[in-house]
A and B are shown apart, each in its own frame.
Chain A
Amino acid sequence: MSYSPAELLAVIAARQLAGVKSVFAGVGIPLLAAALAQKTHAPDLTIVVEGGSIGPELLPGRLPISTNEMRVAHRARVLPGITDTFLFAQRGFLEVGFVGGAQVDRFGNLNSSVVGSYDKPQVRLPGSGGANDIISLCHRVMVVTMHERRRFVPRVDFITSPGFLSGGTSRRDAGLLFGRVSQVVTNLGILGFDEESKAMRLEGLHPGVSVQDVVEMTGFDLLINDELPITEPPEEEELALLRGLDTERRFI
């Protein structure tokens, strides 16, 4: 069964939501992964979207492009204001968050603000949106991203969304008492973080991917687990569900 890197990402991210009750998801792959999880491994999952929607159901073929449009409100249970939606996370109601970014570093910090300096950027990116809030406030956060060397940098140019900052206890010391980056799910494998140093660690590989492939696509020294389980490839049912949602193939 052939599948695209984006389909693989969505399937793997969905599997990580097994048994989860609430997820804070942005549009694109994260929302597709959450919707897939709801139909497979996490039937009790409530999806929360930052534009102010709790418990929406996606209408196949009408996937949202932005987090705050009517397509995300379809069959929702609550439509709170945006500030209140984030405050549910600040209060501690939301288990898992999904985030991405143009750059991610060895401590799981994310940059979606600038390449270069803030005041004189080489590339001005759109900015945080809700990423900073999601990574600061949910119980745990999964980074979902394509695995590219230019993306996996030793140190992000700008910390838009704080992972483990400079490692060790620095996240806690900055006042971020709750939450953590638990996983980085890429199209090559699954990564986590060392319990003490908080440095990124390779913990699993997708079918047909070698450790060398991951190392070459990573711009810093990765810790590598002794045992590296191989991911089960996407099943026909998972792919069919995904394709049934994204009939336009906008995101997958």
Chain B
Amino acid sequence: MEPGDFVEARRRLEAKARPGGVKLTSLTEAAGWVKDGDVVAIGGCCYSRTPLALLMEILRQERRGLTLARNLMCYEGEWFIAAQAVETVVSSWFAIGLPWGLSKVFRQAVEGGQVRYEEWSHLALGLRFRAGAMGVSFLPSLSMLGSDLMGVGSAKTMECPFTGETIALIPALFPDVAVLHVHRADRLGNCQIDGYPHMDVDIALASTTVLVTAEEIVSEEQIRSQPDRTKIPGFAVDALVEVPYGAFPHECYGLYEADFDHFDKYVAEGSSQGAEGVREYLDRYVYNTPDHKDYLSLFGAGTLDRKARDAQQLVGRG
């Protein structure tokens, strides 16, 4: 779909046969919604609330030619590059985090022309999702102007019809699929997120298909008792899977902190060796772990408990 094509985006949403009622399914079924060549938007931000369990299942199903859109990419982006699953990355930033320097895998892929990087400012990408969520073709902005980023994507400038000033027009992004991880949802897909909302709500509403993992599936009564905390309505969700620690070793606000020791290990043994190193990591952690419980067992129960305590301390409950 062309950027900003709100007419086509609305047609696709209306034409889609949404599963009614209960959205609960398996990771395998949920990831099966993703087709080769899709534009996949990823929720969370950098190593916060990344839907890793779903992303790993998408990798196991060997999709090809994907476009990944995420405001700040962390090492999950390296996984898709190493697996040769991605052609284009739409983002504002791609690395792992300051202490780990530049991403060797990303550098080699973009510098070698294997992957195209469409760079936006952080706000501009947020406005792309928001315009999509609003069902309109663009939003005006005072950012991006004058910079060379204006020539990379499909942003335009115009003379403001009210003031005559130059403004930037940021085109809507309508992803084919949104992949999100939330704190809790009822079986109908009404989702609650604690702490940072990041861009998840806009991403969900902008996308044609929405896949969600939740730390916990709770009763409809519990959701009804706190509807003000529900951020994504069930009618926007297509598939829902209960996956405790579904973002680990990335963090989930209030529930577990990121495991930076594992990041060190991932970089030392995996990504510092380039794509081949990442493929070896994926063999061990993704392809040879048929489900998420097997994957988590590689970290050890002690680690999960410790990271849960660290999280409680940070949000003032420890």
Interface positions of A (Cβ within 8 A of B): 27-28, 50-53, 59, 62, 65-71, 73-75, 79-83, 86-87, 90, 113, 118, 120-133, 136-137, 158-162, 165, 170-171, 174-178, 250-251
Q: Is the CB of A128 within 8 A of B119?
A: yes
Q: Which of A52, A129, A174 contacts B166 (CB 8 A)?
A: A174
Q: Which of B46, B166, B196, B198 has the most CB atoms of chain A within a 10 A radius of its CB? A: B196
User: Within 8 Å CB of B127, what residues of A?
Assistant: 83
Q: How would you classify the secondary structure of chain A's contact residues: helix, strand, loop or mixed?
A: loop
User: Within 8 Å CB of B93, what residues of A?
Assistant: 126-129
Q: Which of B249-280 contact A (CB under 8 A)?
A: 251, 253-254, 257-258, 260
Q: Is the CB of A50 within 8 A of B315?
A: no
User: Within 8 Å CB of B40, what residues of A?
Assistant: none
- Can you report 13 A-B residue pairs in the complex whose CB atoms are below 8 A from each other? A53-B196, A68-B72, A83-B126, A83-B129, A90-B141, A130-B123, A131-B121, A136-B145, A160-B147, A165-B146, A170-B146, A175-B166, A175-B167
Quick check: is B64 within 8 A (CB to CB) of the other chain? no
Stretch from B19-27, B94-102, B237-245 contacting the other chain? B94-102
CA distance A148 to B110 in the complex (A): 26
Q: How would you classify the secondary structure of chain B's contact residues: helix, strand, loop or mixed?
A: mixed
Q: Is the CB of B168 within 8 A of A73?
A: no
B199: nearest residue on chain A (CB-CB)?
A82
Please count how many residues in chain B sit with their CB below 8 Å of the partner chain's CB atoms: 66
Q: Is the CB of B72 within 8 A of A129?
A: yes
Q: Is the CB of B196 within 8 A of A132?
A: no
Q: Knowing A90-B123, A130-B123, A162-B146 touch, does A66 contact B97 (C-beta < 8 A)? A: yes
CA distance A49 to B239 in the complex (A): 33
Q: Which of A71, A81, A178 contacts B199 (CB 8 A)?
A: A81
User: Within 8 Å CB of A160, what residues of B?
Assistant: 147-149
Q: Knowing A118-B148, A121-B111, A160-B147 touch, does A75 contact B316 (C-beta < 8 A)? A: yes
Q: Knowing A128-B122, A130-B122 touch, does A69 contact B146 (C-beta < 8 A)? A: no
Q: Is the CB of A124 within 8 A of B107?
A: yes
Q: Which of B79-93 contact A (CB under 8 A)?
A: 91-93
